[in-house]
Amino acid sequence: MSTKSGPPRTDNAVHGTSLYGGSHEPAYCGALSFMRRRYSRDLDGVDVAVWGVPFDAAVSDRPGARFGPQGIRKASATFCGDPNYPFAFDIFETLAVVDYGDCAFDYARHAEIPGHIRRQASEILDAGCHLFSMGGDHYVTWPLLQAHAERHGPLAIVQFDAHQDTWDDDGDRIDHGTMIARAVKEGIIDPAGSIQIGIRSHAPDDFGIEIVYGDEIETLGVKGIIDAIVTRVGDRRAYMTFDIDCLDPAFAPGTGTPVAGGLSSREALSVLRGLGAIEFVGGDVVEVAPAYDHADVTSLAAASIAQTYLGLLAERRRNGS
């Protein structure tokens, strides 16, 4: 909480007068945008748009990730306007960030939804903004990757996940377990520069993507994982996708397909903190299903992942990258 004189501002999400600077308001009240950023569809002067994609009709187990964006926004209110840990500066003094709201689509027309996600994401990217998305189930990453690849070409993917998501795909499936295979087949993902972290399942094919399995986490440690990611990606442009089930269910019970043996929140955030050398051009956090959560711990983990990702972008700008 700020020590400035006078009462703290409230409802910065609606009444904020500047795109810059953290919001000093109580965590327990006010309009709940992501980290109190202004709700806006005006992208003039905006560096990053944070966007919700509340779709979960592609799940293979428990639904509920359509409520993920709401849960993440609510949990992010706990981050006040003080210097953002672990960066020790206010990332919003460097980056102009808005909460762009949620993707619009007709929930009853599933076949049309990927196109809506792709087109609306492209509109944000065409405005010159960096896009960070909040799912939704992991299928939403497919149209998001399409939109980013249209702008940047084939991308390295840094995927935090319990599952490879490379099961067989005929090109028409709406499935949160096959879209990475499709993206490789269609040339959207460059497998030679891509890596998956925390995998605790086996798909028929890895498509040449490097895998760090869950049982390797303890042996490699945080530094070893960071080194593996940075070496694999190199100087390629990359997209980060973080399926919250990469975390052990002890740290992320609120998800549709939990798998024991995952990363702790501390390990995951420490790994992310070490990826400042990578040129990320977009990212997402997905599969948060608040109905299965306890005390908002999963939503808080996802909000922290999003905050850390934004911190990396701000740090690169401060360093002139």
- The CA-atom distances, in angstroms, between 316 and each of 160, 215, 229, 255, 283 are 22, 32, 18, 31, 15
CA distance 65 to 44: 30
Counting residues of the chain whose pLDDT is more than 90, the rounded percentage is 86
Give the chain's domains with CATH numbers: 12-318 (3.40.800.10)
Convert the pLDDT of each residue in 184-214 to its tens digit: 999 999 999 999 999 999 999 999 999 999 9
CB neighbour list of residue 311: distance below 8 Å, 6 or more residues apart: 84, 86, 87, 91, 273
Range of weakest confidence among 14-18, 91-95, 193-197, 214-218: 14-18
Convert the pLDDT of each residue in 281-295 to its tens digit: 999 999 999 999 999
**pLDDT exceeds cutoff 60 at 5:** no
Rounded mean pLDDT of 154-178? 94
pLDDT at 239: 98
CB neighbour list of residue 42: distance below 8 Å, 6 or more residues apart: 98
* Mean pLDDT estimate for the chain: 94
Q: What is the pTM of this model?
A: 0.93
Convert the pLDDT of each residue in 221-233 to its tens digit: 999 999 999 999 9
Range of weakest confidence among 60-69, 78-87, 119-128, 151-160: 78-87
DSSP label of 49: E
In the chain, at which residue ranges do the beta strands (DSSP E only) sit?
48-53, 97-102, 130-135, 156-160, 195-199, 210-213, 237-243, 279-286
pLDDT at 3: 46
pLDDT at 179: 95
Q: pLDDT band for position 6 (50/70/90)?
A: low
CA distance 2 to 182: 48
- The CA-atom distances, in angstroms, between 160 and each of 89, 229, 230 are 26, 11, 14
